Amino acid sequence: MLISQCFKEQCFRETSDRNRHSASHKTQSNTKKHKTHLIDIMPPFTSHIFICCNHREAGHRRGCCDPDETEELRNAFKVEVGKRKLGPLVRANKAGCLEQCEHGPTVVIYPQGIWYGKVTPADVPRILDETVIGGRILEDLRIADACLNNPQCIHLQQRTG
């Protein structure tokens, strides 16, 4: 069965019968129904985890979150999310530099806006169990408010002089 997606009026519904589906657009008293199925198909993420995999050459003054270019941390998230069968509610995505290099390896969890630093693969199970599932912040990993996006942060000052 051929499944295609309808892009008419931002419908996005998948259909195997494009003609019949198109006809349905004409008969619907429109906006309300479209809103309904737009909501139906929106992925209901509970957490979207962004893992910095940015690599810089050794000796760079800001350092980087993935010095070996292995994406080991991101892979650990993918494995542990899979083990807990959290997909598709939880997604673990590779990110470029999150501008928290001095606190890295850096991870941010949205929509909660929780920033973790110095994260290692060994931390991944408890991030998922405690924070993503349990809703608890791991204070030992949390990037302090005084550090987050603060050019005066002592760690940034130390690195860049």
Binding to Zn ion by residue 101, rule CB under 5 A?
Answer: no
Binding to ligand FES by residue 100, rule CB under 6 A?
Answer: yes
Q: What's the token pair of residue 110?
A: 């949205």
**What does DSSP assign to residue 65?**
S
**In this chain, which stretch among 1-9, 92-100, 138-146, 151-159 interacts with ligand FES, using CB under 6 A?**
92-100
Binding to Zn ion by residue 126, rule CB under 5 A?
Answer: no
Distance CA 103, CA 59 (A): 16
**Three-point CA angle 43, 47, 48, nearest 5°:** 80
Report the chain's terminal Cα–Cα distance, integer Å. Answer: 62
Give the one residue of 49, 51, 65, 107 binding ligand FES; rule: CB under 6 A.
Answer: 65
Give the one residue of 153, 157, 158, 159 binding Zn ion; rule: CB under 5 A.
Answer: 153
Give the one residue of 64, 119, 127, 141 binding ligand FES; rule: CB under 6 A.
Answer: 64
Nearest CA to 64 among 75, 76, 53, 77?
53
Q: What's the token pair of residue 124?
A: 């991944």
Report the nearest approach of Zn ion to the CB of residue 50 (Å): 19
Question: What is the DSSP pairing of strand 90-95 with strand 47-52?
Answer: parallel
Distance CA 119, CA 80 (A): 15
Longest dimension (CA), the chain: 67
Residue with smaller CB distance to Zn ion, 48 or 155:
155
Binding to ligand FES by residue 101, rule CB under 6 A?
Answer: yes
Are residues 74 and 53 in contact, defined by beta-carbon separation less than 8 angstroms?
yes
**In this chain, which stretch among 37-45, 91-99, 140-148, 152-160 interacts with ligand FES, using CB under 6 A?**
91-99
Q: Between residue 102 and residue 121, which ones bind ligand FES under the rule CB under 6 A? A: 104, 106
**In this chain, which stretch among 14-22, 95-103, 130-138, 142-150 interacts with ligand FES, using CB under 6 A?**
95-103
Query: Which residues contribute to the site for ligand FES (CB under 6 A)?
Result: 52, 54, 64-65, 97-101, 104, 106
